[in-house]
Chain A
């Protein structure tokens, strides 16, 4: 991988992030409703609202506000303060990031634990009984909206069986067991859905490789099916599967927003949503920016990992 390619990718990434920051910032003048009004509530006078808006700095020209905001992030790593709670947004993000990472990570793991075995068994005998049942299971998983899946899992595992807590988060510093008990249900909600989606991708990625000439040749030469699978198929399907994981992170990050709300999970998704409802623009902008950074970096890593998986790919 040449340095030039890497630099080019990084500059594109910065360009995209710049675009993201502009789009995120432009929400503020477009959305009706004022954060001052939210904080002061039904009993505030128009005069109260005007004074507070001025204190919040919302009356300054937009370019000034934007420059101030981006300047703070780039120069000082400071996202500013929440308009509603007047606390540091940077602290808030640092506190919430591990929760979202834990949720997304475990969900992805659960998704892969479902998708790989199901996808591989289906692809080995397409049209067979196992393929059919895997396809039905994954279709059901795909077609249940995440909020509904979450509520059903809470009813089953928390309320009826009493195995897992219904909601809430424990940081891993409180012990692995406490952390794991809390992360399991929300991660299962997101994981079941993304696992169902991935099953179908894994299946078609494998089918594609299985149809390749060298696999046919290997089979014709009498290589056992297990060996064909591990030695030829999986290795060659790896790139497609990594791409799927990369893309799946986009779905996961989105699904996490809903799951976080349902399970009262203190992550970035619920932060973004609450701040939208409260018109807490700097917090919303920060959360959107973080999500976009996460997503673009994952994308970059996915692309770069191709090189590791397949040395024959050369980026000029």
Chain B
């Protein structure tokens, strides 16, 4: 039976291949979605807003699924020898979904708006290196940087937050509900909290390998379903074709069904305990190391992700070219106890840990951490907060420790710079280490892979040793959809794209 099956599948696939030609076009994909927080790419920071905009906006350059930089709206680019000037040659066959041709002016307009302090964009930091943008001609645009930044192209490829928008939607005020882009779909109706309706962009420039016009789908219906277990029910009962989050505990059961496909890939992301280095006794590195020795990352990962994550002691996933796999902290309670004694808190202390209701897994992880630190006399209290409240509290530095994640990290710079450089806006832990600061700047200026690797390996070691972030696990990137959804893959950069998806 088992031996015949692959053969039959191959046969069926071959038979379908002919039919697929005719069947790839048309149809509406109904997806279980979650609530975007506004759709202006410069005004929002919400994951679900970005994933919605991913269907609508495109970037100059892009990553393929193997994390290689590939052309998108820019056909080609050159970098000056001093690394400060980037010149992009744009595609001339691109139109916005309103039919207007895309030119270099749109690139300048988009990034000028993003960087304008009055826009107050939370995404401006991504492109902080830009000094000015010059339009040379309709299809040539030059970026002048104020400092060398090897990761700059990667920032321009970081998805919808830096996607190109048409100024018309800013001028007529529809930027919050239906921004216009050059992407495969356009937003036709946005009912906050209910649904986002998209139709194919008839002016889309992209084609598949056979020259067929993309996208295949006629429309997307993104239904906002708040409760995760209802999302699962909607998928299983066929009310939706695709779902944006799957309760991880449901995966085993979904795997066993033949009408549902579970798509897994490693996410360029990590979960960690952020430690406030300005509060006693956590300001003592030995106390932070003791915590790192005391926890069992395998159990935390199991409870938080139901086995879909990979325990880790440093941030970069093992599958990445930048992986260092530095792991000095195998669980060792005696070692942890010794460190606490050295630090003068042999009897333990009281500590708050702050997870958020926004991510159930942060609450599950915090409970396990609480249980694991109890034997050391570290009396952990959970300080669970709603997202709005959590962000405020973190911003004010009003915490001992918190549990959170960083997502969509591609260049090694993304893993360390904004989080750990002295005085950077996302350095919420108050960490400061001159060696690391220096290395982080050098990492941005170095271009050779081997040299950069050596620099970041050292940074990685410093930060893991200082235990300012206590890394827990790299999460999986998981999506589930009905078996008749084809041409969709969970991408390594965590973006969701339906451009070559079709239903049969």
Contacts and interface: CB of A to CB of B under 8 A. Distances in A.
Given A159-B236, A162-B237, A279-B388, A264 B225 contact: yes
A48 B225 contact: no
B234 interface: yes
A206 B225 CA distance: 42
Contacts of A37: 388, 391-392, 395
Interface in B116-161: 117-118, 120-125
Contact of B123 (A43, A154, A165): A43
Contacts of A33: 386, 388-389, 391-392
A277 B386 CA distance: 7
Contact of A39 (B35, B38, B426): B38
A184 to B, nearest CB: 14
B229 interface: yes
Contact of A277 (B40, B223, B388): B388
Nearest to B386: A277
Contact of A82 (B39, B43, B192): B192
A41 B236 contact: no
A287 to B, nearest CB: 11
Interface in B201-238: 223-227, 229-230, 233-234, 236-238
Interface string A38-54: 11111111111101100
Interface in A109-155: 151, 154-155
B109 interface: no
Interface bin, chain B: 35 or more
B211 to A, nearest CB: 37
Nearest to A283: B192
Interface stretch (A57-65, A70-78, A85-93, A214-222): A85-93
Given A37-B395, A85-B192, A270-B226, A43 B389 contact: no
Contacts of B125: 43, 45
Nearest to B173: A86
A151 B122 CA distance: 37
A32 B395 CA distance: 13
B112 to A, nearest CB: 17
Contacts of B190: 85
B177 A87 contact: yes
Looking at chain B's contact residues, the main secondary structure is loop
B120 A166 contact: no
Given A52-B120, A85-B177, A274-B35, A40 B234 contact: no
Contacts of A158: 233-234, 237, 239
Contacts of B229: 151
Contacts of A44: 45, 120, 122
A33 B388 CA distance: 5
Interface string B1-36: 000000000000000000000000000000000010
Given A87-B177, A168-B223, A278-B388, A39 B425 contact: no
Contacts of B101: none
B194 interface: yes
A109 to B, nearest CB: 24
A44 B46 CA distance: 12
Contacts of A166: 230, 233-234, 237, 239
A41 B177 contact: no
Interface in A293-315: none
B223 to A, nearest CB: 6
B176 A85 contact: yes
A55 B239 contact: no
Nearest to B388: A33
B177 A159 contact: no
A263 B122 contact: no
A39 B45 contact: yes
Contacts of A52: 43, 120
Nearest to B117: A51
Interface of A: 32-49, 51-52, 55, 82, 84-87, 92, 95, 151, 154-155, 158-159, 162, 165-169, 261-264, 266, 270-271, 274, 277-279
Interface of B: 35, 37-40, 43-46, 117-118, 120-125, 173, 176-177, 190-195, 223-227, 229-230, 233-234, 236-239, 386-389, 391-392, 394-395, 404, 425-426
25 contacts: A32-B392, A33-B386, A37-B391, A39-B43, A39-B46, A40-B44, A40-B45, A42-B394, A43-B45, A43-B122, A43-B426, A46-B395, A47-B117, A85-B37, A86-B40, A86-B173, A86-B176, A158-B233, A159-B233, A262-B227, A264-B226, A264-B227, A264-B230, A266-B191, A266-B195
Given A264-B227, A264-B230, 20 more contacts: A38-B37, A39-B38, A39-B45, A40-B45, A40-B122, A41-B37, A41-B45, A41-B391, A42-B394, A43-B45, A45-B425, A52-B120, A86-B40, A95-B191, A154-B233, A158-B233, A159-B233, A168-B225, A264-B223, A264-B224
Give the 4 A-B residue pairs with the shortest CB-CB distance, closest first: A41-B45, A33-B388, A44-B122, A266-B194
